[in-house]
Structure 1
Amino acid sequence: MTVLFLTGFLSGCAGPSLDDYRDRGPELIPERFFQGELSARGVVKDFAGEVIRTFDADIEARWDEDGVGTLDEEFRFDDGEVETRTWTLTPGEDGYHADAGDVVEPGTLRWQGNAIHMNYVLQVSYGDGTLDVRMDDWMYLITPDTLINQTTMSKWGVDVGEVLLVITKK
């Protein structure tokens, strides 16, 4: 009986799969959405769900003749901090290999239907140093020009925060 309960409980805790979004639209194709100028606005929440920062961002996205994507991002936070990141998306067998300068464990960007999923480790500023945080990134295309991004941040398997943002084409 205990085994059945634990099996049901653990399977109930399993997160979504990209297969869950296979038939949902509008269809999200990274090369189409992440093209040209985009803008973003969002919040950063702490482990208790309290909003601790807000931000806006500009993203310049482009693809070369080999199918490699570049996303240049500039984030401006409400406390005055400005953060830049350049993502390189290199085509692979199972999606795009996604890497950036402050990414210590690159991820693979995969997609189906209207969703993208990516999991990676990001080095973030913390106090006088840095901290490596696992980022579990889900993006959902709502309209051809609007994407919602939800990222759960964790350290040692414990959720420590969340980032919610809306990205729109300019």
Structure 2
Amino acid sequence: MVLALWGCAGPSLEDYQGAEPALIPHEFFNGELSARGVVKNFSGAVIRTFDADIVATWEADGTGTLDEVFRFNDGEIQTRVWTLTPASNSYHAEAGDVVEPGTMRWQGNAIHMNYLLRVDYGDGTMDVRMDDWMYLITPDTLINQTRMTKWGVEVGEVVLVIQKKGAGSDPQSQ
């Protein structure tokens, strides 16, 4: 039984200590960025694709703003504005549709956030737990993988690549 529980344990930030390139949120999330990704359902099938523009700014007190605009393949447009407030070795992360704010922690080349997001569902809304992992692959490219759960059951996943605009590998500049 102990082995079964141990097998369910996910990674921890300590697993990435010393991994390069180092991911420092206020350095990567600075200026204009672009993203492209997919939304998967509970069985792993891609149900939506999207691209996004992100404008990231920082105040003198260390508070950051990530202004995101998502354009989905079905025509829907979503916006989310994150406010990142410095805390002890982390950021307190809030946005309008985030009903339970998260804490952004980082180590090595990884960032982890866990928060509760309110999403449109049918004729109403549903609150979904987001377990968000980001990995810096190159100084200009980050991969983001987010597990979505409801009552502890996986209901979907979001996978995307975020790139600094103007970087040689920016797909929108090709």
TM-score (norm 2): 0.94
Out of 57, 63, 72, the position equivalent to 1:77 is 72
Name the stretch that deviates more: 31-40 or 6-15: 6-15
1:168 equivalent among 130, 155, 163 = 163
Paired residues in the alignment total: 165
What pairs with 1:146-165 in structure 2 (closer than 5 Å)?
A: 146-165=141-160
Counterpart selection for 2:85 from 72, 90, 93: 90
Query: Deviating runs (4+, > 2 A) in structure 1?
Result: none
What SS does the aligned partner of 1:37 have?
Answer: strand
For 1:71-150, what aligned pairs fall within 5 Å after superposition? 71-150=66-145
- Aligned with residue 58 of structure 1, among 53, 58, 72: 53
Scaled by the length of structure 1, what TM-score is found? 0.96
| Match of residue 3 from structure 1 | none
Q: Secondary structure at the match of 2:69?
A: strand
CA positional deviation for 1:94: 3.9
Q: What's the CA shift string for 1:56-97, capped at 9, x where partnerless?
A: 000000100000000000000000000000000000114100
Structure 1 counterpart of 2:63 = 68
Distance 2:124 2:86 in 1: 33
Instruction: Name the % identity.
Output: 75
Q: How large is the Cα RMSD of the aligned pairs?
A: 0.5
Residue in 2 aligned with 1:43?
38
The gaps in structure 2 that reach 5 residues or longer are 166-174
CA distance in 1, matches of 2:140, 2:24: 12
For structure 1, list consecutive stretches of 5 or more residues without a partner in the other structure.
1-5
| Code of the aligned partner of 1:50 | A
Q: Deviations over 1:79-128 (max 9, x none)?
A: 00000000000001141000000000000000000000000000000011
